[in-house]
Copies of this chain bind each other. A is one copy, B any other.
Amino acid sequence: MNAADTRNRILMTAMELFWEKGYLSTSVSDILSRSQVHSGSLYHFFPGKQDVLVGVLELYRDGIDEMLLAPNWEGVDDPIERIFALLAGYRTHLIVTDCTYGCPIGSLALEIHEPDPVVRELMAANFSNWSAAIAGCFDAAADRLPAGSDAKALGEFVLTVMEGAVMQARTYRDIGYFDRNIAVLRDYITTLLAGAKSGSFA
């Protein structure tokens, strides 16, 4: 096994573990035993545990298109439906994990109370990429939205609703909380599309 493989295996394993158990509850030994890598190797590639986290956050940041958007948007052309297709992807994650799933970035954002600036900015960059992708959908549907609609703010709002809906479904272990939240969001977006005299919140 070459060096790049080792580094990559560490990162993929850490990505899994941080998602399953969170960053704080994942020990370096956890990463070592699951990845079958020895501690010296890990510390050869990464100065410390936090640098592994940085690597994972960079993977998320650089992989949003291929890992997240492309799979969920395949065969979905309408920009508004793309928004709900992405949300449906999160719903699927919740279902297959018995409502144990949590958004990895959101979990980290609330788990780490005093983040290193590098870590915090990477979490923010991940949020920005996500909401920018949604804002792109709203931009693509700008002609169907009220004039002056703020696509950026709407993208951030959809991110907010996803995070909150996932948080509640996970806490209650009940997908109903996710579904109701998304239904309310759809109601709102429907009123926007219906051309209600709205969208002037910017």
Contacts and interface: CB of A to CB of B under 8 A. Distances in A.
A154 interface: yes
A74 interface: no
A138 to B, nearest CB: 11
Interface in A10-48: 20-22, 24-25
Contact of A164 (B152, B160, B172): B160
Contacts of A200: 187
A91 to B, nearest CB: 14
A113 B95 CA distance: 16
B159 A164 contact: yes
B20 A167 contact: no
A6 interface: no
Interface string A150-177: 1011101101111111011011110001
B110 A106 contact: yes
A171 B107 contact: no
A162 B180 CA distance: 16
A190 interface: yes
Interface of A: 20-22, 24-25, 102, 106-107, 109-114, 120, 123-124, 127, 150, 152-154, 156-157, 159-165, 167-168, 170-173, 177, 180-181, 183-188, 190-191, 194, 196-202
9 contacts: A24-B25, A102-B110, A110-B110, A153-B181, A156-B184, A160-B167, A163-B163, A187-B198, A194-B196
